[in-house]
Chains A and B, each alone.
Chain A
């Protein structure tokens, strides 16, 4: 009977060992998808600048670093492209191509507030002809200040209702805007 006990115990130990090994191999320290950085590439005649919203240490900890969007007054013909990435990882992971590939399941929305004289219109469509918003046309008016809120929605239910398209918010960020 003693043999039985010790064999049972050894089976238990072997089992536990197996699970330990399995666990060690699986342990990859990979974070979940984590958008940390949004870049706005604004180009136009004689204008080429990148405005960045960056929270490389994720929620909490250090506050995000946010560029002020400074644009010349009374200028039209500006175009903006959004880049979305995770810079907490090394190398940084760029999600922009993936979002563009799944453009029917995504929607970027643009809201100007606080009196900034900035007009933004969509310059692209998704593959089913509905708004997408990754590329936008910008035009500025007189000297003013305010805010620009950019949101990325995932699986929106009503893409034509940019105020409340449904689905989930992947990011929701605001830049200070200065038209000079």
Chain B
């Protein structure tokens, strides 16, 4: 980084602290832990009252509490009380990030306050972006990838308008991990047209970790991770929850979702049931309906948590089910058909009409997760965690078939995947300023290819050990993180049917590591540098695939000699969070050795459907460099400007003189919006926002060329808003989102179906959320 840039950052940080000073530093929190008796068991539902501020709260089921918006370096009188215990009054002085441990006793003898300097739940020392609550609500009803697409550095790889996968800083599919409720999703993510089986409605918070996160989340997280957390359980006794409904103009769709919590009075037992129903019909691009783009989805989940002495338990069961149509015009029989379809500006074989009926081609995917977790709090510092997760994934793909006979009701491809995961970890609160943990993981996976010999059956066994530690000593501005992990994967693959004859054992083992440093300029402003080594074993698909990829009009062949991909990711990011200014910037360089890619062979493979160009899986070194960021700048009392951008350059550096651009790298993207907010009496914020997204034309394409030139640059205008209301005493939220407000006809480079049809046009969605 140049001196000038450093000066710029320093200026930004300074202005941040000025803004903070104007706000009198009253954004500190009083955080602490309340324990009971000599055994120091966590005390739930103790009342905490701060006299000077007139604020109060209850400790949660683990004895933790938080009171926000207190002034730093001020003294407060804190009263802690519980029906079964003695009252405690203590004067405390709030310091940045300090937490207070209060120990209550059944008699009034013991009055002890320990001020322990410890960081709370440290976020990874890595570039990350969290979806704001407003953005999460505004995207309700869209799929996971679509929900995340506003975040800087995140884009969407789509196959038509119904199937989308998140792309983090240019990497996707098996190179990123999707972590839902602390469970890494295990499904057929290798496929470009296989969307993640996650219901965004179940999410209370979504965070994207950019860069190598393999130490935390395993070999799947070479390029980053999407962390989906559910809302915390209800803390009060009895019932509570929400119902959310939405309607969409494009596709004439509707979605209904609800969640209910119940806490057994006077008990630690709390349970939740959640469900989502969704249906929509053919989408419409500005000039025509996109035939066969309907979808339906139903998801249910249940979870429970309870506590007994030092033990905490949580169990959850969830089921995701979807059926999605695939644009009829995208189905082509051979290369001549494909060339005709590509040449045509409008989709061929397209029925320009609206229907909810889903015909061939379509996909069905189901995912079942059962998670069971137990935590043993050994003492205030140490805890032991064990988790067992079972996942079952089923995917069926129905192609357009010649026969309407018995084959006409059967899928052409069907996969089933069973995954058993066992995790154990020991974690600790700061000990000599170091906080972290170590653990191991065992994975067993069975894949059955019921129909269609695209990939072989396989059985995988794997094991991992990891350690991760973080050091922060207040008030030193430095924070360090170190982590290491070793993974081993063993896979036995056998052929299905008569087309492939594979019976092979492959095994891969590799170490990964991460080193990060955070410098806190002040409470509002910090810079993070992270350097991580991560790896990924080649997927069975890349090793053994052999067949015609009809959507792409290519013959693809795996290579059993592939070795693991290794990534060295360096990421420097800068965060500033104040009322007046919010900045999130990230610059990265990701060097990948033995990057696996599909290489065009300049030869044709003769098949019964004619000749198809051959693509073989190959390996080469690649470098991905990029810059992305977003900001919220306060212009007036309640007016914000929200710019954002994502830029990435991906090149293959070997086997290509001077380097060759990687295919399917997101084009440069610029976002800008103006948001007007109004705070209600109870701090719930209403807002309206109008903004635009400009995506440039991708001019950096592989030398081998593209089947169809990259689409032109486009700009979309979007509008969204939320109105906070009251239905009686209950909070109610009314939302409006208009995407593609000007009904612009456009195609996107990252959408595989750009060959065939335009993207959908304007969509008006109305949402209503009732909190009960």
Q: A-side interface residues toward B, CB under 8 Å? A: 1, 4-5, 8-9, 12-13, 15-16, 19-20, 23, 26-36, 38, 53, 55, 57-61, 63-64, 88-90, 95, 98-99, 102, 105-106, 152, 154, 157, 164, 166-173
Cα separation A31 to B546 with both chains bound (whole Å)? 14
Flag if A60 contacts B418 (CB, 8 Å). Answer: no
Q: Shortest CB–CB separation between residue B497 and chain A, in angstroms?
A: 4
- Is B65 interfacial (CB 8 A cutoff)? no
Interface size class, chain B: 35 or more
Flag if B336 contacts A172 (CB, 8 Å). Answer: yes
- Is B151 interfacial (CB 8 A cutoff)? no
Flag if A15 contacts B390 (CB, 8 Å). Answer: yes
Neighbouring A residues of B548 by C-beta, 8 Å = 59
Cα separation A38 to B496 with both chains bound (whole Å)? 24
Chain B 299-328 residues near chain A, CB threshold 8 A: 306, 308, 311, 313, 315
- Is B7 interfacial (CB 8 A cutoff)? no
With A57-B499, A88-B499, A89-B498 already in contact, the answer to whether A1 and B308 are too (CB < 8 A) is yes
Q: Shortest CB–CB separation between residue A108 and chain B, in angstroms?
A: 13
Contact of A61 among B412, B420, B546 (CB under 8 A): B546
Q: Which of B120-128, B130-138, B606-614, B748-756 is the contact stretch?
A: B606-614
Flag if A105 contacts B497 (CB, 8 Å). Answer: no
- Is B374 interfacial (CB 8 A cutoff)? yes
Flag if B448 contacts A60 (CB, 8 Å). Answer: no
- Is B349 interfacial (CB 8 A cutoff)? yes
With A5-B374, A8-B315 already in contact, the answer to whether A98 and B403 are too (CB < 8 A) is yes
Number of A-B residue pairs having CB atoms within 8 Å of each other in the complex: 146
With A16-B370, A60-B557 already in contact, the answer to whether A30 and B547 are too (CB < 8 A) is no
Flag if B311 contacts A1 (CB, 8 Å). Answer: yes
Cα separation A29 to B413 with both chains bound (whole Å)? 11
Neighbouring B residues of A172 by C-beta, 8 Å = 333-334, 336, 608-610
Neighbouring A residues of B496 by C-beta, 8 Å = 29, 31
Flag if B418 contacts A64 (CB, 8 Å). Answer: no
Q: Shortest CB–CB separation between residue A136 and chain B, in angstroms?
A: 19
- Is B31 interfacial (CB 8 A cutoff)? no
Cα separation A27 to B447 with both chains bound (whole Å)? 11
Neighbouring B residues of A168 by C-beta, 8 Å = 331-333, 337, 400, 402
Given contacts A28-B450, A31-B497, A33-B403, 17 further A-B contacts (CB under 8 A): A4-B306, A5-B374, A15-B390, A19-B368, A23-B418, A23-B448, A26-B416, A27-B448, A27-B450, A31-B453, A32-B451, A38-B608, A53-B608, A55-B606, A102-B404, A168-B402, A170-B402
Neighbouring A residues of B413 by C-beta, 8 Å = 32
Cα separation A30 to B453 with both chains bound (whole Å)? 9
Neighbouring B residues of A169 by C-beta, 8 Å = 333-334, 336-337, 609-610
Neighbouring B residues of A63 by C-beta, 8 Å = 606
Contact of A58 among B337, B340, B400, B499 (CB under 8 A): B499
Cα separation A20 to B420 with both chains bound (whole Å)? 12
Neighbouring A residues of B349 by C-beta, 8 Å = 157, 166-167
With A170-B609, A172-B334 already in contact, the answer to whether A32 and B452 are too (CB < 8 A) is yes
- Is B388 interfacial (CB 8 A cutoff)? yes
- Is B392 interfacial (CB 8 A cutoff)? yes
Neighbouring B residues of A29 by C-beta, 8 Å = 496-497
With A1-B311, A15-B370, A33-B407 already in contact, the answer to whether A60 and B392 are too (CB < 8 A) is no
Neighbouring B residues of A106 by C-beta, 8 Å = 402
With A20-B418, A59-B612 already in contact, the answer to whether A105 and B404 are too (CB < 8 A) is yes
Cα separation A128 to B374 with both chains bound (whole Å)? 69
Cα separation A19 to B608 with both chains bound (whole Å)? 37
Q: B-side interface residues toward A, CB under 8 Å? A: 306, 308, 311, 313, 315, 331-334, 336-337, 340, 348-349, 368, 370, 372, 374, 388, 390, 392, 399-405, 407, 412-413, 416, 418, 420, 446, 448, 450-453, 496-499, 546-548, 555, 557, 605-610, 612
Flag if A31 contacts B498 (CB, 8 Å). Answer: yes
A–B complex contacts, Cβ < 8 Å, 28 sampled: A1-B311, A1-B313, A8-B315, A8-B372, A13-B390, A16-B390, A16-B420, A23-B446, A26-B450, A27-B450, A29-B497, A30-B451, A33-B403, A57-B499, A59-B547, A59-B548, A59-B555, A63-B606, A88-B498, A90-B498, A154-B400, A168-B331, A168-B332, A168-B333, A168-B400, A169-B336, A172-B608, A172-B609
Flag if B605 contacts A60 (CB, 8 Å). Answer: yes
Flag if B608 contacts A173 (CB, 8 Å). Answer: yes
Neighbouring A residues of B388 by C-beta, 8 Å = 9, 12
Neighbouring B residues of A30 by C-beta, 8 Å = 450-451, 497
Neighbouring A residues of B372 by C-beta, 8 Å = 5, 8-9, 12
Flag if A55 contacts B607 (CB, 8 Å). Answer: yes
Q: Shortest CB–CB separation between residue A37 and chain B, in angstroms?
A: 8
Neighbouring A residues of B405 by C-beta, 8 Å = 98
Flag if A12 contacts B332 (CB, 8 Å). Answer: no
Cα separation A4 to B617 with both chains bound (whole Å)? 50
Q: Shortest CB–CB separation between residue A13 and chain B, in angstroms?
A: 8
Neighbouring B residues of A1 by C-beta, 8 Å = 306, 308, 311, 313
Flag if A19 contacts B452 (CB, 8 Å). Answer: no
Cα separation A169 to B338 with both chains bound (whole Å)? 11
Q: Which A-B residue pairs are the 3 nearest by beta carbons?
A: A169-B333, A172-B610, A168-B333
Which of A19, A157, A172: most chain B Cβ within 10 A?
A172
Flag if A31 contacts B418 (CB, 8 Å). Answer: no
